[in-house]
Amino acid sequence: MKVKRYIASTSREALRQVKEELGEDAVILSNRKIRNGVEIMALADAEMTHLVQQDAPAPGLSALNRYYESQNDFADTESFSKPVLDNPVQQPSLHENNTISPAFARDIIAEIQAMRSTLEDQMATVAWGNLTQRRPDKVKLLRTLLDCGFSPLLARHLMSKLSEDFDYEQSLKQATSILTANLRTAASDDMIEQGGIYALVGPTGVGKTTTTAKLAARCVIRHGADKVALLTTDSYRIGGHEQLRIYGQLLGIPVRNIKDTEDLQLTLSELRNKHMVLIDTVGMSQRDRMVVQQMSMFKNCGSEVKRILILSATCNGKTLDEIISAYQEEGLSGCIITKVDEAASLGVVLDAAIRRKLILHYVANGQKVPEDIHIAHSRYLVHRAFKSTAKDSAFTLQDAEFALIMATKGDAETLPSVDKSVAGLAYD
């Protein structure tokens, strides 16, 4: 029996080699992915037929029965030279021999998984080729969404909601409407108008202190310096407390340093007549265990402290997902997006806000206090996300790479319902 091994970059190329050498009726023995591509082990049909004929069983006998029959024949020939035992050894039962070794089972499972993966890749390529031919406008829109920074997960879900009869321009307009409807924003200047106690939380370097100063300045302009209080828990960073203190001096607001939950509880009790209390927190990695303790301090201080997550528009999607997951466990009242002026695209951070259903209060686009902070408008932000597409970027996907994106499984989280006027466009 001559088993031949074929290696090629794709399954299609390997199968072509098999057919050319062994013919259309060749038997595929194995198919698995290797470092350089795909490996196929094959056998000619004539070889397999010859092998089967040699091992053909007697009519009506199972494999185990044939085994026992052969053992009986061997015993009969041996009986001429050896005495028969008084207590012959019993033949093993069928259940004792009808087992599969764990190693063999693992090999079979690995083989099946490799074949399944190969078939999925081939089917995805075929499906993508059909879609490209049938709906080039839809493919163009998918490329636009990905180039703008929206995740493949959200893009796939969004594409499934678009009308089939629309061309590219109509589909783009519909996609923009869906994204706008599902980007939740606060009504006008809610934080400043309603007042309350707000803790600005988030990782290091996202602009929490500067954003705290901007919000304080807006409130001072609206309600006066005597109605605003500034607190900070940032006693770790060199100069962190002093930076906020300088902003407080410019605004005419004293700044208090908070050490622990007891101190926070006592201070908030003294400031209960203030219209707005803003707490600047120490920045820490989303993977730091102290995040949970920090969030618990605000939760257990005896007052309603609303936690606002500060997100940088310059972060990548995976980092944003990690940050939101870490801080959302204890509950968030919304978010503020900073460094909009530094981001290559707004699609990434808007995608995270939409999928995680965060309420967006403000966007910040510079260091000026209080000028560089603005009320969030969903329509404007989505429009700007589509306008900031990078051209000829190293991160722009090529045509051949889109099949891999489409083949990936997964659905976006269920998005919130919207006003009836756009209910037909929003996600179910």
**Token couple for 150:** 């929206």
Is 420 part of a structural domain of the chain? no
Q: Do 427 and 182 meet the contact criterion of CB atoms below 8 Å apart?
A: yes
Q: CA dist 189 to 98, 114, 195, 360, 376, Å? A: 74, 56, 10, 11, 9
Q: What is the C-alpha to C-alpha distance for residues 262 and 8, in angstroms, rounded to an integer? A: 68
Lowest mean pLDDT across 54-63, 113-122, 153-162, 297-306? 54-63
Structure tokens that stand for 56 in this block? 């053909």
For residue 365, the tally of other CB atoms under 10 A from its CB is: 17
Q: Which of 41, 70, 99 is the last residue of a domain?
A: 70
What one-letter code names the amino acid at 265? Q
Asked whether residue 16 is domain-assigned, the answer is yes
Question: Which among 179, 183, 185, 150 is positioned nearest to 162, based on CA atoms?
Answer: 179
Query: Could you tell me how far CA 52 lies from the centroid of its own chain?
Result: 50
- % the chain with pLDDT above 70: 72
Looking at per-residue confidence, does 349 or 302 come out higher? 349
Which residue, 361, 376, 391, sits at the end of a domain?
A: 376
Paired with 185 in beta bridges are: 360
Count of structural domains within the chain: 2
Q: What is the pLDDT of residues 141-194, one digit of tens each?
A: 888 898 899 998 898 888 888 888 888 899 999 999 999 999 999 978 889 999
For residue 287, being part of any structural domain is answered with yes
Cα 322 to Cα 202, 328, 352, distances in angstroms: 11, 10, 10
Q: Quick check: bond before 370 cis, omega within 30? A: yes
293 vs 153 pLDDT, higher one: 153
Task: Identify the residue whose tokens are 């908030």.
Answer: 268
Confidence (pLDDT) at 424: 38
Residue 215 has pLDDT above 90, yes or no: yes
CATH number of the domain where residue 320 is located: 3.40.50.300
Structural domain contains residue 290: yes
Residue 293 parent element (H or E): helix 290-299
**158-169 pLDDT, tens per residue?**
888 888 888 889
106 occurs within a structural domain: no
Residue 53 counted as domain residue: yes
Looking at 10, 35, 70, the residue that finishes a domain is: 70
Q: What are phi and psi of 359, to 5 degrees?
A: -85, 125
Partners of residue 230 on adjacent β-strands: 255, 278
Average pLDDT over residues 219-228: 93
Residue 95 lies in a domain: no
pTM for the model? 0.65
Helix (H, G, I), strand (E, B) or coil at 167: coil
Q: Mean pLDDT, the chain, as a whole number?
A: 78
- Inform me whether the pLDDT recorded for 64 exceeds 70: no
pLDDT tens, residue by residue, 397-426:
666 666 565 555 444 444 433 333 333 334
pLDDT given for residue 402 in this prediction: 62
**Residue 108 domain-assigned?**
no
Structure letter (DSSP) for residue 236:
S
Residue owning tokens 């959200």: 154
Residue 281: give the domain boundaries: 190-376
